[in-house]
Structure formats: structure tokens, C-alpha cells
Amino acid sequence: MILHHIQSSTAQSAGLRLALRYAGDRDALIISGDAAGSVLQASWQTKLAGKRVYFLDEDVHARGLTAMISARYPDATLVDYSGWVKLSLTFDKVITW
């Protein structure tokens, strides 16, 4: 099981695209930093549908995206830094893209 950490905007990095290519059924993604705002596009919503997705709460709140993320990703989980650490310990490996 791999936790794929996406922190760069999809406009500046191919990280999310690559993570989705290599993510298995038991893997998950955690979205933080500039990536939080860049996944609001409908095309990313479609690509992330059915995936286990987490968002770093502080980054979502700092960008004023809480309502939009909740509306577009109702099955996603917002986690704080403590939750992120717990997630990283739950998975066998963490890859930052």
C-alpha cells in the first residue's frame, strides 16, 4: 500500500497524473499545498472518482477552498498534520510527487 503525496499544482507538475498511473487499488492520495486548488477542475474530479483521497486541512482552509473541496469531493477526508502522520504510518510507503 502506497500513500501518494501530491503537493504541486497540476499546471506545474505531472505528479498527480503520474501518481494516478501507478496507484493501485489499495493505494491512496493525499493532496496538499498548491495541488489543493488545482484539482478543482472537472477533469481531475473524474480522474479521482473512486480513489481514496485525503486533503491536508490546513492547506485547504488557507486557500479558502473548504466548501468547494467538500462539494466536489464528498467522499474525500480532510486531515490535519497529526492525521497526515498517522496516514503515513499506516501505509507501507509514501511517495511525494
Q: Looking at residue 11, what is its pLDDT?
A: 86
Mean pLDDT of 76-95: 96
Q: Looking at residue 55, what is its pLDDT?
A: 97
- What's the CA gap between 32 and 46, in Å, rounded? 19
Instruction: Report domain extents, the chain.
Output: 2-96
Locate cell 477552498: which residue?
Answer: 65
Strand bridging mode 93-96 / 28-31: unpaired
Mean pLDDT of 58-81: 95
Q: Which of these CATH numbers, 3.30.365.10, 3.30.70.600, 3.40.1260.10, 3.40.50.300, describes 2-96?
A: 3.40.1260.10
In one-letter notation, the amino acid at residue 68 is M
Q: Looking at residue 29, what is its pLDDT?
A: 97
Q: Looking at residue 69, what is its pLDDT?
A: 94
Convert the pLDDT of each residue in 6-60 to its tens digit. Answer: 999 988 899 999 999 999 999 999 999 999 988 998 899 999 999 999 999 999 9
Q: Looking at residue 26, what is its pLDDT?
A: 95
pTM given for the model: 0.91
